[in-house]
A and B are shown apart, each in its own frame.
Chain A
Amino acid sequence: MNLLHVIGNLVLVVCCWFLSLISLNWVSNGGIMTVKSGLIGGDGGQIWMKLWDQISVFGCKIQHHYSQYIGPKKLRKNWWRKLLIAWILCGIILSLSVFWYMSSLALDKRKETLASMCDERARMLQDQFNVSMNHIQAMSVIVSIFHHDKNPSAIDQTTFARYTERTSFERPLTSGVAYAVRVLHSEREQFEIQQGWTIKRMDEQTPVHEDEYDPADLETSPAHDEYAPVIFAQDTVAHVISVDVLSGKEDRDNVLRARESGKGVLTAPFRLLKTNRLGVILTFAVYKRELPPNATPAERIQETAGYLGGIFDIESLVEKLLQQLASKQTIIVNVYDTTNFSDPISMYGSNTSSDGMHHVSALNFGDPIRKHEMHCRFKQKQPWQWVAITTSVGILIISLLVGHIFHATVNRIAKVEDDYNHMMELKKRAEAADIAKSKFLATVSHEIRTPMNGVLGMLQMLMDTRLDETQQDYVRTARESGKALVSLINDVLDQAKIESGKLELEEVSFDLRAVIDDVLSMFLGKSQDKKVELAVYVSSKVPATLVGDPGRFRQIVTNLVGNSIKFTDKGHIFVTVHLVEEASEMEFERDESLSGLPVVDRRRSWSKFRSFNQESPATSSSSSDQINIMVSVEDTGQGIPTEAHSSVFNPFMQVGPSITRTHGGTGIGLSISQCLVHLMKGEIGLASSPHIGSTFTFTAVFSNINGQQQVNGSISSSEFQGMRALLVDPKKIRAKVSKYHIERLGIHVEVVPDLSLGLTNTPTVNMVFIEEEIWDCKNVGNPKMLILSNSCSSDSARSPFAITKPLRVSKLAASLQRAMGMSSGGNNLSREIHALSLRNLLHGRKILVVDDNPVNLRVAAGALKKYGADVVHAERGAKAITLLTPPHLFDACFMDIQMPEMDGFEATERIRKIELGIKNGIEDGELSVEAYGNVSNWHVPILAMTADVIQATNEACARSGMDGYVSKPFEAEQLYREVSRVFQTMSDESH
């Protein structure tokens, strides 16, 4: 997302910069000179700086707008769209203007070319014309000298014709030259006689064809003041001889102007008589004598002797000229006589309409009155401006492309945002589904557990009845299956809880050794069935009481031991508990395993633990009251293939599909264990070799119970305190285990490898424990002999008491009691033990039961009364508070959670508050201890009663200050567990 935004911004800024550059260029197109001069002048830098400032401010503004609009999506979308349209419009305008600019440049260039070409032609025409004119003027001088100044004349018609003929190359523009003499009326007759012809009148109205032209047909000129008959003519124009040029209107004007000005004079263009082409006549006056340049017109008229005229064929003239020049094809030339401005006379060229571009060049033929112009046009129209077209189209395409990219980017951003929102929605839904799944699992597990508890309860009751062996077996199997199902459900529930991160650990004090013993007793049957030796050893350095979550700890150990049992068919399973600090001192004895079978090096199982790889873990843990426990479970089972080591802790992962078929199970046990170990701030690892066995090791951090460190985990109340025992076992490691258990009873143990050796050395022992292996039937001594046996079916006839392994402190105590004759015959059924213990625990206790439901109240009271408790009931929380306000005589209280007016949590909280107030009051000396029965620290155990074992109950109970909870209706085992726990801690506190 962020990246896209950044890119979008960048594109925007670049676009703005580009736009403003273009606009700048455009604006300064006219005034580019000023900018340039500014640059040269030195403050150009400032201008550029300002410009850049403006651009960046604009960019910032856009960015500002952009970030402002990022919130409301629709607004932003519209904004984008407007910008896009503006951008495209800009692109179109830009491309059009570029096209216009470039084509105008091309036009200008074309115009320039035309002008230069036209001027060039005009100049050449003018030059050639001038050359001819000069020659004609020269001829006028010749005529003046040789005709008029000589008498008789040196020139006659023949001479003139020959001369003109031979010098015609000098006058390329003239088609002919003729000389007319001035004849006054008085001299006419004499002149006509001298010449032999009459003066003829020019007939311009009816021009006739050359072939039919005959001077004889012309009329004789009428009488005038003077005449100007042609006497000499070039052969090409010989037909004009004898024609009076003054009789033609055009010619007359010409002649009159010529003699007045003394310069060459041009006629308007007219159709030539013979060729019928357009031409002009240039007339020069010939004077009788050389006149001064400042002579007046009257003097000039007076002195005029004749007139020399040259006929210019303009059309052929121009054509000839154009032929001489290259690129004749490209332009069309028109020559006009524009003396009469409103009606120009075309002298050359087709009379096409001049709609396109044309250029006009002025022509000066030396006659100031006559004005001539040359018009030039390109023959072809202007070709397509491909460069301009391609450039502008290119710019258009580029701007459209940029627009498209922009559009695509915006769309992409919008799409990504939509996708993101969609994903968020999906994520939310997935999370909701996950929560729903967890809830569903919790609910379903709970709903399954409730009827399962019914089934198990009924089975238990059924077991209590008189059943024969087979029936007993069936019922036991059914019960075991049910229990397995419940534990599986619990596993699934745990997994769900762990996955949703809702699992929280308890913080209660517990006896680790007892927990381990419990776990061991659970697997008693199985291990005996499989003939696998099950043993436990807890290091004496491990404190007796730890604070942590015994249930979860038990779960981990159970999982590991359960796994080991599943995969071990011979040999042993050995659970050891040490402090982590001891691990480094531990040595591995390859030959010395519990069952004699080879085992894997257990040190490998913790070699990857972080706490071992770090330096000085021991000092840090021992300095605080954190106790770092390390538990190893060693077995001699089939082991785990090396490639599966990494995956065994994944949920639902088993070594192979065959495992599932052979051993069953869901494969989540280890995964849960791993999670639990992590929750206990520990690590778990394994070392395993196929066909040798596996060792799982985990560490867990518990806190030490404040101050009092009972390093020796002995049961102080044991009646065996101070006795001495001899343990005969050749195997060191097994002896160590046995010694540990026996010492827990407070018995002093001495280990000897051989019985005879032991008896001779230490005569004052109360009992002798002998490993079954080395038991010799004949050897019956005075002290009580006990055999440590692995199987329960050992022959009882073999006299001394056999104590079946695995050793547990309770079992050992019971066996010893039996052996020493201290106790009555025990009853093995745990239920009855529980009932008995409950009776012991509850007998004579004064217990308050609080429940708003009279039926429930009655049932709970009945159940408690059955165990000999003195029950008082209360129906309301308020009443309970009154009854439980110290001083009172209640030993415990069972409190329903769901009660109207005041629920169990609230009532408990209030009671705790009152107790705390009294405690503080006594400490402050405001209240006397005597008034509260010499007890300063009142804390009546309150147990919640609840029908719904909901997830939060445990935490909720702890939060409101309750000591535990029992489910309704009462179940003997749970009741026993909770009550014993509560009374245990009570007695602990009173100590």
Chain B
Amino acid sequence: MEVDQLQRSFLEYTTSLFREGFLDGQFGQLQMLQDESNPDFVVEVVSLFFEDSQRILNDLSITLNQQNVDYKKIDANVPQLKGSSSSIGAQRVRNACIAFRNFCEEQNADACRRCLQQVKQEYLLVKEKLEALIRLEQQIVAAGGAIPMLNEFS
């Protein structure tokens, strides 16, 4: 496949992700941090995010399925997820985390479970999107092209 086309579809995909609100400016910042000296920065960070989030989500599911919900544990875990999601710019996950945290403060177990489901859903969605994006990136790199910077698309 031509590099050009790949690059264009990469840009289109990225903009659609921004447009649909899956990602925000922070992801752009991440992309800007990636340069020759640090070529796999985005992939590294994103996979770190996946690992970390998966662990947190598992923890949360276990905690919430217990008879006596340990809100302290949730209270520690949710901000962490919120922090990492805002760091990579997954803003829909982050927003879901904010709502989650509010219910956690109210100690509303049912609402917390609903929120967890939502956070999971958002996480899976953004994971899918990001994986697709990374696949595209790798294809571009494999095709010998440079990954276009988002802001070069005007």
- Contact surface of A with B, Cβ cutoff 8 Å: 454, 457-458, 461-462, 464-467, 471, 852-856, 858-859, 862-863, 865-866, 898, 900, 947, 968-970
A223 to B110, CA, bound (A): 147
A947 to B87, CA, bound (A): 10
The residues in B between 23 and 46 inclusive whose CB is less than 8 angstroms from any CB of A are 24-26, 28-30, 32-35, 37-38, 41, 44-45
Q: Does the CB pair A854–B48 fall under 8 Å?
A: yes
A458 to B25, CA, bound (A): 6
18 interchain pairs, CB-CB under 8 A: A457-B29, A458-B28, A461-B25, A461-B28, A471-B154, A853-B52, A853-B80, A853-B84, A853-B87, A854-B51, A854-B84, A856-B87, A858-B45, A859-B87, A862-B34, A866-B35, A947-B82, A968-B87
The 9 closest A-B pairs by CB, nearest first: A855-B84, A862-B33, A856-B87, A859-B87, A855-B49, A465-B151, A853-B83, A855-B87, A461-B151
A863 to B88, CA, bound (A): 12
CB contacts (< 8 Å) of A454 on chain B: these are 24-25
A847 CB → nearest B CB, Å: 15
**Taking each of A853, A856, A863, which has the highest tally of chain B beta carbons within 10 Å of its own beta carbon?**
A853
Q: Does the CB pair A898–B79 fall under 8 Å?
A: yes
CB contacts (< 8 Å) of A947 on chain B: these are 82-83, 86
Q: Is B20 an interface residue (CB 8 A)?
A: no
Q: Is the interface of A mostly helix, strand, loop or mixed?
A: helix
Query: Looking across the interface, which residue of chain A has its beta carbon closest to that of B53?
Result: A855
Query: Looking across the interface, which residue of chain B has its beta carbon closest to that of A471?
Result: B154
Q: Does the CB pair B29–A854 fall under 8 Å?
A: no
Q: Is B141 an interface residue (CB 8 A)?
A: no
Q: Does the CB pair B45–A465 fall under 8 Å?
A: no
Q: Is B76 an interface residue (CB 8 A)?
A: yes
A240 CB → nearest B CB, Å: 134
CB contacts (< 8 Å) of B151 on chain A: these are 461-462, 464-465
A458 to B31, CA, bound (A): 13
CB contacts (< 8 Å) of A458 on chain B: these are 25, 28
Give me 18 other A-B pairs in contact (C-beta within 8 A), A471-B154, A855-B88 excluded: A454-B25, A458-B25, A464-B151, A465-B154, A854-B51, A854-B52, A856-B87, A859-B45, A862-B41, A862-B45, A863-B33, A866-B35, A866-B38, A898-B83, A947-B83, A968-B83, A969-B26, A969-B87
CB contacts (< 8 Å) of B86 on chain A: these are 947, 968-969
CB contacts (< 8 Å) of B48 on chain A: these are 854-855, 858
Q: Is B2 an interface residue (CB 8 A)?
A: no
CB contacts (< 8 Å) of A852 on chain B: these are 80
CB contacts (< 8 Å) of A865 on chain B: these are 37-38
B102 CB → nearest A CB, Å: 13
Q: Does the CB pair B76–A467 fall under 8 Å?
A: no
A462 to B154, CA, bound (A): 8
A969 to B26, CA, bound (A): 7
A947 to B84, CA, bound (A): 11
Q: Does the CB pair B84–A856 fall under 8 Å?
A: yes
CB contacts (< 8 Å) of A862 on chain B: these are 30, 33-34, 38, 41, 45
Q: Does the CB pair B83–A855 fall under 8 Å?
A: yes
Given contacts A457-B25, A458-B25, contact A858 B83 (CB under 8 A): no
Q: Does the CB pair B152–A900 fall under 8 Å?
A: no
Query: Looking across the interface, which residue of chain A has its beta carbon closest to that of B149?
Result: A465
The residues in B between 68 and 93 inclusive whose CB is less than 8 angstroms from any CB of A are 76, 79-80, 82-84, 86-88
CB contacts (< 8 Å) of A471 on chain B: these are 154
Task: From the candidates B26, B79, B80, B154, name the one contacting A466 in the complex (CB within 8 A).
Answer: B154
B127 CB → nearest A CB, Å: 13
CB contacts (< 8 Å) of B45 on chain A: these are 855, 858-859, 862
Query: Looking across the interface, which residue of chain A has its beta carbon closest to that of B44?
Result: A858
CB contacts (< 8 Å) of B76 on chain A: these are 900
A865 to B40, CA, bound (A): 14
CB contacts (< 8 Å) of B41 on chain A: these are 862
CB contacts (< 8 Å) of A858 on chain B: these are 44-45, 48
A485 CB → nearest B CB, Å: 17
Query: Looking across the interface, which residue of chain A has its beta carbon closest to that of B49?
Result: A855
CB contacts (< 8 Å) of B38 on chain A: these are 862, 865-866
Query: Looking across the interface, which residue of chain B has its beta carbon closest to that of A451?
Result: B24
A854 to B80, CA, bound (A): 9
A866 to B41, CA, bound (A): 11
A77 to B154, CA, bound (A): 81
A458 to B27, CA, bound (A): 11
CB contacts (< 8 Å) of A461 on chain B: these are 25, 28, 32, 151
CB contacts (< 8 Å) of A457 on chain B: these are 25, 29
A465 to B153, CA, bound (A): 8
A849 to B152, CA, bound (A): 31
Query: Looking across the interface, which residue of chain B has its beta carbon closest to that of A457?
Result: B25
CB contacts (< 8 Å) of B34 on chain A: these are 862
CB contacts (< 8 Å) of A462 on chain B: these are 151, 154
Query: Looking across the interface, which residue of chain B has its beta carbon closest to that of A868?
Result: B37
Query: Looking across the interface, which residue of chain A has its beta carbon closest to that of B152?
Result: A465
Query: Looking across the interface, which residue of chain B has its beta carbon closest to that of A851?
Result: B83
Q: Does the CB pair B83–A856 fall under 8 Å?
A: yes
CB contacts (< 8 Å) of B83 on chain A: these are 853, 855-856, 898, 947, 968
**Taking each of B32, B34, B37, which has the highest tally of chain A beta carbons within 10 Å of its own beta carbon?**
B32
Q: Does the CB pair A467–B154 fall under 8 Å?
A: yes
A972 to B151, CA, bound (A): 17
CB contacts (< 8 Å) of B44 on chain A: these are 858
A471 to B151, CA, bound (A): 14
Query: Looking across the interface, which residue of chain B has its beta carbon closest to that of A859?
Result: B87
A454 to B45, CA, bound (A): 21
B103 CB → nearest A CB, Å: 18
A123 to B138, CA, bound (A): 155
Query: Looking across the interface, which residue of chain B has its beta carbon closest to that of A971?
Result: B29
Query: Looking across the interface, which residue of chain B has its beta carbon closest to that of A970?
Result: B29
